[in-house]
Amino acid sequence: MSRAEPFVVLASRVRASEKRILEVLSRRGIAHRHIDSRAWWHPLGDRGAHPIVLNREIGLARATYAAEALEAAGAIVVNSARATALCGDKWRTSAALVAAGLPTPRTAIGLTPEAALTALESIGYPAVVKPLQGSWGRLVSALPDRQTAETVLEYVAALPSPQARIVYLQEWIAKPGRDIRVIVVGGEALAATYRRSEHWRTNVARGAVSELCPMTPDIAKLAVMAAQAVEAEIAGVDLIEDGTGELLVLEVNHGVEFSGLQQALGDALSVADRIVDHLVEKSRSCCE
């Protein structure tokens, strides 16, 4: 990496979102390089270059270590290693949201499945159990009653990874068949979509349908505050509405996919351009 290539896009998987960002960098004549993180390595102590790195690595372990190594070498990484670590772990996200005083479902952590069963007596049923890491609703399970919880937690207890046996629990929120995904870039809420589904897991990866959501001041303010709470400069903030219509922050995604949102937006706004704008501004401010 060199000054001649001030922008680096780190990604092992070039999805539609990464491709749009690379296309915008090329179209605007901004020198850049795409690095496949699967081939990337870094000698500790090397501080030879200070590029702006857009970290779009899809694997959390690779994304976190790459961000830490690059920051140690003097690079500016977006999102930062700290933001990636906070967003990549649901418990750490929840702790940051609560510390910032933001509304979020009641959450508990159990250090063993047995402790989680006790915690559920406090959280109450129905509840939801989620893996600490991962996206797209994978392995997120509803616990309607103690009997189901005992069964699910028995499976959790049999998982081989010690981290997988740390149990993250949340109260069940009776949301109105949808959640709200907000894209935040550089402290600004750019756009929002409703994700509607018949299924209680309203992830697009699970078949939820995306449609534009009017950006209200409440949605924008809460999404920006949630992104700030986890120190994310580029974020996909998931909000849900409870039975009274109050907005709660569910999670914040550090490597947000936006191709579906972009399709819904049409030509009204280019998310990739706004991400590149943010990187350029970052480059200016850090080099002045």
Partner 1 sequence: MVTCPECENSVVPAGTPVIGEIVECGECASELEILTLDPIRAALAPEIEEDWGE
28 binds partner 1 (CB under 8 A): no
Contacts (CB under 8 A) with partner 1, residues 66-125? 88
- Closer Cβ to partner 1, 123 or 202, answer by number: 202
Sheet with 107-110: list strands edge to edge. 107-110, 167-171, 127-130, 141-143
Displacement of CA 229 from its chain's centroid (Å): 12
Displacement of CA 281 from its chain's centroid (Å): 22
236 binds partner 1 (CB under 8 A): yes
Report d(CA 248, CA 170) in Å as an integer.
12
Helix (H) / strand (E) element for 265: namely helix 259-265
Report d(CA 55, CA 53) in Å as an integer.
6
- Closer Cβ to partner 1, 133 or 210, answer by number: 133
Q: Which of 74, 124, 134, 176 binds partner 1 (CB under 8 A)?
A: 134
- Closer Cβ to partner 1, 14 or 49, answer by number: 14
- Closer Cβ to partner 1, 59 or 103, answer by number: 59
22 binds partner 1 (CB under 8 A): yes
260 binds partner 1 (CB under 8 A): no
Q: Do the beta carbons of residue 236 and residue 253 sit within 8 Å?
A: yes
209 binds partner 1 (CB under 8 A): no
Q: Which of 2, 3, 13, 263 binds partner 1 (CB under 8 A)?
A: 13
193 binds partner 1 (CB under 8 A): no
Handedness of CA 244, 140, 96, 179 (dihedral sign): negative
Between 217-229 and 90-99, two packed helices, what is the crossing angle to 10 degrees? 110
CB of 16 to partner 1, least distance (A): 8
Stretch that binds partner 1, among 19-27, 142-150, 221-229, 273-281 (CB under 8 A): 19-27
Report d(CA 14, CA 280) in Å as an integer.
21
Site of interaction with partner 1 (CB under 8 A): 11-15, 19, 22-23, 34, 36, 58-61, 88, 133-136, 236, 253-257
